[in-house]
Structure 1
Amino acid sequence: MARPIREGLDPRTCLLWAFVLLVSAPVQALAADPLPSWNEGPVKQSIIDFVTRSTTEGDPGFIPPEERIATFDNDGTLWQEKPVVQGVFLREQVKALVKKDASLARKQPFKAVLEGDLALLSSMDEPQLMALFAAVHKDTTQVAFADEARAFFKTARHPKFGVPYTQLAYVPMRELLQYLRAHGFQTWISSGGGTDFMRVISEETYGIPPQQVIGSDLKESFDENHGHPVLRREAKVDHINDKAGKPVGIEQRIGRRPVFAAGNVRSGGDIQMLQYTKEQPRAGFALLINHDDAEREFAYSEKNEASLKAAREGGWTVVSMRQDWKRIFPEGP
């Protein structure tokens, strides 16, 4: 005969204890912290409150599952941007190009790129980067470009942290992506970076499939290629997914206005996407990352503080990396 759970308890009491344990287990699981790398405070709580309202039927803030669209900038929002990773990749491509045409080494902006001017690469805006990409990557097939990008990510290391760039995705933001997806949100990247470049790492790094990446694009053309069809990149910019171009890209690719959007302080490139998300019949959630942690990452701001000003005026939630994040990268503080 089986012993009771506790000595001195009758079988009926034992059954009651077993029932309590079975019922309480799921409750404890649900009570687990969904954002463990976020410090407790108003920023973290505002995110949880929004998700709770959005997913609770009968709540005035309930959002139907098909409308739960969340868009995220990439550089400076999902991973570091000092230097801009695509700018570093571009430098390697310019080196290869100069091997074929040495005269380019004396021309700008190729000369500055070759000299490893990381300050220049970091200061270049998305249109400048894409124009340079157009010059470097004309006639390259889509497959060849993806192969070059994958090779870059295997060998390239960050100049300060000494690790692959894909290891510098922000842990708190990866948790946020997972948290939103667990509650029925579609997570998209909407960034000024090149679409094809980000697609190479988006799924492995963020859990975002390549078809849910919106970025800047070069024009492409179909080439029969002697019975082996390919797409070739042209020396023309098709779309710049930066600033006012972000809402345009979102509408063209998704067809729905986001209800959650995240961007960061640097060039004001995310202001329009966050405005587009926040100001609508059903108020969306706008999240702005402020880079104020020089010890664990970097500290920088905009000269005119355009993004922070827009955040104050629009009622956005501003993340202080120094105060709101327990840790930033997978390794280290």
Structure 2
Amino acid sequence: MSSFASLTRRTFLVALLAVGLIALPQFHALAQADPLPSWNDGAVKSAITEFVQRVTTQGGPDFVPAEERIATFDNDGTLWCEQPFYFQMAFAFDRVRAIAPQHPEWKDEQPFKALLEGDVKTAATAGEKGLLSVIAATHSGMTTEEFSSEVLDWTKTARHPRFNRPYTELVYQPMLEVMQYLRANGFKTFIVSGGGIDFMRPWTERVYGIPPEQVMGSSSVTEFKLTSDGKPELIKTAKVQFIDDGPGKPVGIQQHIGRWPIIAFGNSDGDLQMLQYVSGGPGARLALYVHHDDAEREYAYDRSSEIGKLDKGLDEAAAKGWPVISMKRDWKVIFPASQ
């Protein structure tokens, strides 16, 4: 793992911010032979399907009207892989190399010099200040449309260092099935991520079936401007607007969604407050953690990891009876078949 992983998630988010399918009408749960075919039978799979059955059974004690069936999902480590470091960091590092010809001074300026030489370990010694400079150089000073275009181009060409697949193919097949299953039963699915909202929105609908207006994330201040010929533009700036991590997640849910979710999925301590918030509401509730315990097919990490640390969350799940999804035990496959 890169030593950039030693930077805390909040450090990464602050640095990032410094620059910046269809809900059906309410009805009984759909009868399906197996709505979650990539899941092994067991307590966790049953917890999900039984919960959906309860809240969609009209006339039942736990019935929830379709408009109140809100499901929230963390992104990094919950819907797609997050190792050896957050994929948005990989995007930033690749952008440094892509725009280096416009910055000849980077040949002698750290951490850019190290990144251009492929020496991430040395680049990491620049610490938070260095990461801030990388994010500032790669995420600000452009229109939101230009940034979206850069992100989409990157998703088409970049490859993960271990799996040699596009990053957007390293999504979890079992979680894709959960989202589809929930939507088929009248739920509206939202992403609530600490990652950058502008980084996720260009591709989430294609990959997850979640439209951009149902994506929440950390954000920088965006400014409205008119060009000399009167064309309106939105410019990404270097001012922090909102960090959608930890306690920021339930706050963001209230501000962005305005309804109390009834089911939530996370994978780290950064999701703890979201799961506490969702599980603490009235009526039927379900909070679940994805536990990375499959080093052979993906990665194994939890309490001591700098990326996706799951420590307090594991303890709280045990104390409150939240289902913990074992990637090794509960999932037949991790990623979709190669496209």
Tell me the TM-score range normalised by the shorter chain.
0.7 to 0.9
Change in 2 beyond 3 A, CA 1:54/1:142: same
Map 1:171-182; keep pairs closer than 5 Å.
171-182=173-184
- Offset of 1:117 from its aligned partner? 5.8
Change in 2 beyond 3 A, CA 1:72/1:105: farther
Percent identity of equivalent pairs? 52
* Alignment partner, residue 19 of structure 1: none
Say yes or no: does 1:322 pair with 2:325.
no
CA distance in structure 1 between the aligned counterparts of 2:318 and 2:192, rounded to whole angstroms? 22
TM-score for both structures, normalised by structure 2: 0.82
| Residues 140-188 of structure 1: per-residue CA shift (max 9 Å, x gap) | 1001001100110110111111111111111100000000000000001
Helix, strand or coil: the match of 1:200?
Answer: coil
* Alignment partner, residue 295 of structure 1: 296
* Matched length: 301
Q: Which ranges of structure 1 fall in alignment gaps of 5 or more residues? A: 1-28
Say yes or no: does 1:311 pair with 2:317.
yes
Change in 2 beyond 3 A, CA 1:31/1:142: closer
Change in 2 beyond 3 A, CA 1:117/1:302: farther
Q: CA RMSD in A?
A: 2.6
CA distance in structure 2 between the aligned counterparts of 1:60 and 1:282, rounded to whole angstroms? 9
* Alignment partner, residue 241 of structure 1: 244
Change in 2 beyond 3 A, CA 1:225/1:89: same
* Alignment partner, residue 219 of structure 1: 221
Using the TM superposition, name which of 131-140 and 248-257 deviates more.
Answer: 131-140
* Alignment partner, residue 163 of structure 2: 161
CA distance in structure 2 between the aligned counterparts of 1:276 and 1:117, rounded to whole angstroms? 41
Helix, strand or coil: the match of 1:243?
Answer: coil
* Alignment partner, residue 58 of structure 1: 59
| Residues 198-246 of structure 1: per-residue CA shift (max 9 Å, x gap) | 1111011110011100001111000111211110000112111111111
Q: Which ranges of structure 2 fall in alignment gaps of 5 or more residues? A: 1-29, 305-309
* Alignment partner, residue 281 of structure 1: 282
* Alignment partner, residue 100 of structure 1: 102
Change in 2 beyond 3 A, CA 1:247/1:155: same
Change in 2 beyond 3 A, CA 1:131/1:177: farther
CA distance in structure 2 between the aligned counterparts of 1:263 and 1:74, rounded to whole angstroms? 8
* Alignment partner, residue 230 of structure 1: 233
Runs of 4+ with >6 A deviation: 118-122, 125-131
8 Å Cα contact 2:114/2:120 also seen in 1:
no
- Offset of 1:127 from its aligned partner? 12
Change in 2 beyond 3 A, CA 1:248/1:108: farther
Helix, strand or coil: the match of 1:193?
Answer: strand
TM-score for both structures, normalised by structure 1: 0.83
* Alignment partner, residue 16 of structure 2: none
Change in 2 beyond 3 A, CA 1:222/1:275: same
Helix, strand or coil: the match of 1:151?
Answer: helix
Using the TM superposition, name which of 68-77 and 305-314 deviates more.
Answer: 305-314
Helix, strand or coil: the match of 1:241?
Answer: coil
8 Å Cα contact 2:96/2:134 also seen in 1:
no
CA distance in structure 1 between the aligned counterparts of 2:326 and 2:120, rounded to whole angstroms? 25
8 Å Cα contact 1:87/1:121 also seen in 2:
no
Q: Which has the higher contact order (CA 8 A, sep 6+)?
A: 2
Among 208, 211, 217, the alignment partner of 1:209 is 211
8 Å Cα contact 1:72/1:188 also seen in 2:
yes
CA distance in structure 1 between the aligned counterparts of 2:131 and 2:278, rounded to whole angstroms? 26
